[in-house]
Amino acid sequence: MSVLKEIQKQLRSQRHIALITSDINRQYATGFKSSAGVAVITHDEGFLIIDARYHEKASEQVEGFHVILMQDLNKQLERIFEEYDANLVSIENKTMTVSELRSYTERFGNVEFDSSDWLSDVIGKLRIIKTEEEISKIQSAQKIAEAAFSKLISKLKAGMTEKQVATALDFYMMDSGADDLSFDTIAASGKNSACPHAVPTSKPLEDGDFLTLDFGAVVDGYHSDMTRTVCIGKPTDEMRDVYNAVWGANTDALKAVRAGITCKLLDSVARSTLEAWSLDKYFTHSLGHGVGLEIHEAPAVSAKSDTTLHEGMIITIEPGVYIPHRFGVRIEDMCVVTKDGCRNLTNTPKSLIYI
């Protein structure tokens, strides 16, 4: 069933309307990416009001919605509200600003605007379970990221700066067919790799450095996310042990993924493995997160999350160890939750690469 039909099914009455204004949720509902516009969903119709920059393409591509050229948005909304005798309009309370809600409330005084969690929750529950089409797009983005990583590895050498590495990886992703980058690529070496979200600097790669690379590509609005840590030159025994511990935590957590497990329990699996290596105190972030139209979305795979995993969710598994002022290691895979396990979308090997 389409997103439109699902939202319509959950409207409380024929006079209840859903107003979608956020770019991401509008794309999710209509299948069309744009930086402006609103989607209006009534009990039996869908309307996409969009400006002249997108109107022609939207008219060709969007199915299930009446595509309307935006001219005077307030008047166009007013006509829809009057036609459907709307008495309740639900908005996305997790994305609409207070000033935006105030403007709507003042403009449409005869309509009650519902700023409860209702619409955000309805869309959120739909988005958290990926369709096969969504999984295919994320898989395509992941294949692009992996192809770029493979190209980068053949070019890496001591003396390159972190900025040069990140720039090269970005180029390879775009050159391999990415529509965009999932986020600002992380390339962190040596002491900088001890910072989970380090920003690439002018520091050159040196023998004995770990180099952590966290990156992803976007295809048709859907993101991928992966991390690999490689070594410049030969690692010490301690570095190799830390790497193997993180690899073990990643492997054990992937084995534990299945529909029915809670995010809290899954997070504890990786921490238990690192605890066996006396390294759990250096694992300073959650195990993972959902991925889709946004790089970070539900569910949060953390020690505080009671969310239960369900078939069709896509999550990352990214344990890490960060020893302050020395080095860090992170290994991240992205997987689809299945009834009895998971399907790993990340196919790049995890054995330690020496440059």
Structure tokens at 241: 């042990």
Q: What are phi and psi of 313, to 5 degrees?
A: -70, 145
pTM of the model: 0.94
**96 and 137 co-located in one domain:** no
DSSP 8-state class, residue 332: B
């505080």: which residue's tokens? 304
**Domain of residue 177, residue span:** 132-344
**119 and 196 co-located in one domain:** no
Q: Say if 351 falls within a structural domain.
A: no
Residue 286's pLDDT is: 98
- Among 92, 127, 162, the domain-final residue is 127
Please name the amino acid found at residue 22.
Answer: S
> CATH no. for residue 50?
3.40.350.10
Gap between the Cα atoms of 214 and 331, Å rounded: 9
Cα dihedral sign, 279-284-286-287: negative
pLDDT tens for each residue of the chain, 355 residues long? 699 999 999 998 999 999 999 999 999 999 999 999 999 999 999 999 999 999 999 999 999 999 999 999 999 999 999 999 999 999 999 999 999 999 999 999 889 999 999 999 999 999 999 999 999 999 999 999 999 999 999 999 999 999 999 999 999 999 999 999 999 999 999 999 999 999 999 999 999 999 999 999 999 999 999 999 999 999 999 999 999 999 999 999 999 999 999 999 999 999 999 999 999 999 999 999 999 999 999 999 999 999 999 999 999 999 999 999 999 999 999 999 999 999 999 999 999 999 9
**148 and 123 co-located in one domain:** no
Gap between the Cα atoms of 77 and 243, Å rounded: 57
Q: What are phi and psi of 298, to 5 degrees?
A: -65, 145
337 conformational bin, left if phi > 0, alpha if psi -120 to 50, beta if neither: beta
Structure tokens at 334: 């992205």
Q: Say if 349 falls within a structural domain.
A: no
Gap between the Cα atoms of 277 and 38, Å rounded: 52
